[in-house]
Amino acid sequence: MIVAEQKPLEEIKSLIADAEKVLVVGCGTCVTVCFAGGEKEAGILASSLRMSTKLDGAPKEVTQVTVQRQCEWEYIDAIKDQINDVDIVVSLGCGIGVQAIAERYPKAVVVPGLNTSFLGLPTEQGVWEERCVACGECILGLTGGICPIARCAKQLLNGPCGGSQNGVCEINPDTPCAWQLIYDKLASQNRLHLIMDIQPPKNWSTSRDGGPRKITREDLRLAAEASE
Ligand code: SF4
Ligand code: SF4
């Protein structure tokens, strides 16, 4: 899932600046699961903004609403009246949700209430760890399901660097060496042959290095056209 953290209240207040009517929009998907921008967090932020701006002597009218997903038109279309009724929207969606609202409502001023952090996994209560950087060419089938792009600080493709010590990464002693994890996993499955072949340099054009990416599924487009 997409993992995010809420921005400090003072930063959100500075983004709102002089706007008087504010709508906080939560999202019911990833950011709800990571306790950053769901219905509960939207309610708390709206209350905090009301209270804090009142204490500052410049109270604002702050309302809130949470949609199931900010990254789909149909859900943000459903809050059209609320968006059009305010001076500014504080999105508690990830960066995609913020941009989706801004794109769908070109006249609306939309600001982010979260810092979108990474694609990750809750590994224990209150802990999220990065697991994927969406490189566009997944190699998990060769690495025992452990991603060296996301989990190795040097994104190495052919085994560990010389700094791996006792299973720990030399960059961060709190992090296991991804290649130690890969080796141990494959060894436990008798599949070490998978890492004996040298991997060629990665084609980063499928990643962010090739600019904004786009996937077009002609089958889905044709099916949509046929149903119109
Ligand atoms: S190899 Fe690429 S797509 Fe697969 S998990 Fe790693 S970063 Fe994500
Ligand atoms: S110690 Fe392991 S995880 Fe850390 S940079 Fe080297 S190979 Fe990557």
Distance 173 CA to ligand 1 centre (A): 23
Mean of all residue pLDDT scores within the chain: 96
Q: Give yes or no for residue 171 CB within 6 A of ligand 1.
A: no
pLDDT higher than 90, residue 8:
yes
Q: What is the DSSP string of 72-126?
A: SHHHHHTTHHHHHTSSEEEE-S-HHHHHHHHHH-TTS-EEESEEEEEEEEEEETT
pLDDT higher than 90, residue 193:
yes
Pick from 129, 149, 154, 207 the residue to mutate for probing ligand 1's pocket: most ligand atoms within 8 Å of its CB: 149
Q: How far apart are CA 181 and CA 70, in angstroms?
A: 36
pLDDT score for 127: 96
Ligand 2 closest atom vs CA 165: 1
Q: Are 132 and 150 in contact (CB under 8 A)?
A: yes
In the block, which residue shows the tokens 């706007």?
19
With a pLDDT cut of 70, the percent of the chain lying above it is: 100
Token pair belonging to 139? 């190699």
pLDDT higher than 90, residue 38:
yes
- pLDDT (mean) for 19-35: 97
pLDDT score for 228: 82
pLDDT score for 134: 96
Domains of the chain with bracketed CATH: 2-118 (3.40.50.2300), 136-210 (no CATH)
Residue 222 φ/ψ, nearest 5 degrees: -65, -40
pLDDT higher than 90, residue 73:
yes
Burial of residue 97, with CB atoms counted within 10 A of its CB: 0-12 exposed, 13-18 middle, 19 or more buried = buried
Helix, strand and coil content of the chain, in percent to the nearest 5, comes to: 40, 20, 40
pLDDT level of residue 215 (50, 70, 90 thresholds):
very high
Q: How far apart are CA 176 and CA 174, in angstroms?
A: 7
- pLDDT (mean) for 191-209: 92
Task: Report which DSSP code applies to 171.
Answer: S
Which residue, judged by its Cα, is nearest atom 8 of ligand 1?
132
- pLDDT (mean) for 214-228: 90
Distance 151 CA to ligand 2 centre (A): 8
The set of protein residues with a Cβ atom below 6 angstroms from ligand 2 is: 152-154, 156, 160-161, 163-164, 169-171, 177-179
Token pair belonging to 59? 């109270």
Distance 72 CA to ligand 1 centre (A): 24
pLDDT level of residue 70 (50, 70, 90 thresholds):
very high
pLDDT score for 94: 98
